Amino acid sequence: MSDLMSESPDEHQRPPGRGGDIEICCAFGFVAALFVIPQAFAEVWRQTGSWRSVLGAGFCVTQLVGLIGIWKLRRWAVFMYAGTWVAYEVVVLLFDHWSVATVPIPLLIIAVGFRNLWKMT
């Protein structure tokens, strides 16, 4: 009887550690970031002072912060990552620079993040 009282409700509902699906999706995201972030900052360097290139680099850095937060199982990170991605897609659509290549990996990360939201703090 004392064993039942010693456990808190959070310990019983939340499994320890992240799932394999979060690890795989974050690994894809980190690998994609290795290619995207240098390109974004190279564009800023080439177009010194262009607000579109600075905005693109800002989106990349914000998504990387969100990805690190998802890796650390933080709920705010899922919402930040999803919001940043949606805002980025709207901006590139408005400027007619949209590409289908910007959709699969972030969409997979967002789906897995929301699927595992109950595990996060």
Kindly provide the b/e burial profile for residues 35-73, where b requires at least 16 CB atoms within 10 angstroms of the residue's own CB. ebeeebbeebeeeeeeeebbbbbebbebbbebbbbbbeb
- Which residues of the chain fall short of a pLDDT of 50? 1-2, 12, 14
59 belongs to a structural domain: yes
Q: What is the pLDDT of residues 26-52, one digit of tens each?
A: 898 899 889 888 888 887 788 776 777
110 belongs to a structural domain: yes
What total number of domains does the chain contain? 1
Residue 96's domain comprises 19-119
Percent of the chain residues topping a pLDDT of 90: 35
